[in-house]
Amino acid sequence: MALKGLNSVDLKLILFGGKGGVGKTSCATATAIELAKKHKTLLISTDPAHSVSDCLSQPIGNGIHVVEGVENLWATEILAEQVYADFKKKNEQQLKDLFKTSTNLDPDDIDDILKLSVPGIDEVMSLKVIIDLIEEGRFEKFVVDMAPSGHALRLIASPLMLDQWIKVASKMRWKYRFMITSFSGSYKQDPTDTMLLNLKKTVKRIESLFRNSKKCEFIPVCIPESMAVMETGRLITSLGDTGLSVQQLIINNVMESDGCSFCQKRKLSQQKYLAEIDSTYSHLNRVIIPLFASEVKGLERLNEMISVLF
């Protein structure tokens, strides 16, 4: 079977996830190249160990860059730490004021607190970069190469984590607002309120995109090996809780040749897991990719992967 439905006009965001080393970057990059044949496409890496550049055999890095040799395709590697540092710099005073107006902490303690990260915020800020780009409308398709499962799930759960923090922060503010209103009779929204409100809006925008199966799809990548199959199971279960749509599954590195005894053994050991995947995920569109003789690096090899994926 081939990947289905990715050319649908409504579908904007396609996320590739799975265990480390199973072929996420290769599949995401190949998919982005295929989609670029019909749509202006942006390939985004959110894996701190960025490897889109290696896969394409050309430098990408921070910022949006043209992918040489592929018309209609751009790529970017998001640096979550940088994005969060920018947010903190821009909102430093508001964050300080939040604690100053709502707690009895002295300025040194507040500085110490601000050195700790707000739960989920760096991940949410990376997602905000993506959602802003989607809403800006410069590109029609966004293909995301994610970090391995644990990190990817943290990214996906980050809006919920940040939302809980916002609720507590807003409660702290409520007491402050109540005090001001009691003394002066009125209260005007200040920059700290605006920051909290904007964070809340960002969380809501991300949650509604994730829950919209027409706009957003998560494609897990797996290989027919014990640990990868187990991790895929946990990933798909966790994704179910987040409301993200999973409709298809890529099974990579499938041994096709049985021309030598090594190949025969590998093929035999994969049979069990392929059968397990087939029965557990019969409801998903399953796409098999053979183990190629060489790594998937550079446009020529990526085209080989595209011919199997689509």
Ligand X SMILES: Nc1ncnc2c1ncn2[C@@H]1O[C@H](COP(=O)(O)OP(=O)(O)O)[C@@H](O)[C@H]1O
What are the tokens at 289? Answer: 């990719």
Residue 30 interacts with ligand X (CB under 6 A)? no
Residue least distant from Mg ion (Cβ) = 25
For ligand X, the closer of residues 207 and 304 by Cβ is 304
For ligand X, the closer of residues 95 and 302 by Cβ is 302
Residue type, 182: S
8 Å CB contact between 256 and 291: yes
Interface residue with ligand X, options 12, 14, 15, 24 (CB under 6 A)? 24
Contacting ligand X within 238-297 (CB under 6 A): 252-253, 289, 291-292, 295-297
For ligand X, the closer of residues 21 and 107 by Cβ is 21
Which residues lie below 8 Å from residue 238, measured CB to CB, with a gap of 6+? 153
Residue 22 interacts with ligand X (CB under 6 A)? yes
Catalytic annotation, pick one of 47, 122, 163, 193: 47
Q: Is 47 a catalytic residue?
A: yes
- Nearest 5°: the CA angle 113, 116, 119 is 115
Select from Mg ion, ligand X, none the partner in contact with residue 170, using the beta carbon and a kind-dependent cut-off of 5 to 8 Å: none
x-marked contacts with ligand X along 44-73 as a string, rule CB under 6 A = -------x----------------------
Give buried/exposed letters for 161-176 (b at 16+ CB in 10 A, else e): bbbebbeebbeebeeb
Among 104, 58, 103, 182, CA closest to 43: 58
Distance in Å, CB of 253 to ligand X, minimum: 5
Distance in Å, CB of 8 to Mg ion, minimum: 25
Which residues lie below 8 Å from residue 92, measured CB to CB, with a gap of 6+? 114
- Nearest 5°: the CA angle 303, 308, 309 is 90
- Distance of alpha carbon 191 from alpha carbon 24, whole angstroms: 41
Residue 51 interacts with Mg ion (CB under 5 A)? yes
Interface residue with Mg ion, options 16, 25, 144, 231 (CB under 5 A)? 25
Select from ligand X, Mg ion, none the partner in contact with residue 22, using the beta carbon and a kind-dependent cut-off of 5 to 8 Å: ligand X
Residue 153 interacts with ligand X (CB under 6 A)? no
- Distance of alpha carbon 126 from alpha carbon 142, whole angstroms: 14
- For residue 278, the SS3 value is helix
Distance in Å, CB of 196 to ligand X, minimum: 36
Interface residue with ligand X, options 1, 5, 21, 68 (CB under 6 A)? 21
Residue 53 interacts with Mg ion (CB under 5 A)? no
8 Å CB contact between 103 and 172: yes
Residue 191: how many CB atoms within 10 A of its CB? 11
Q: Name the residues that contact ligand X, by CB under 6 A.
A: 18, 20-26, 51, 252-253, 289, 291-292, 295-297
Q: Name the residues that contact Mg ion, by CB under 5 A.
A: 24-25, 51
Cite the active site residues.
Answer: 47
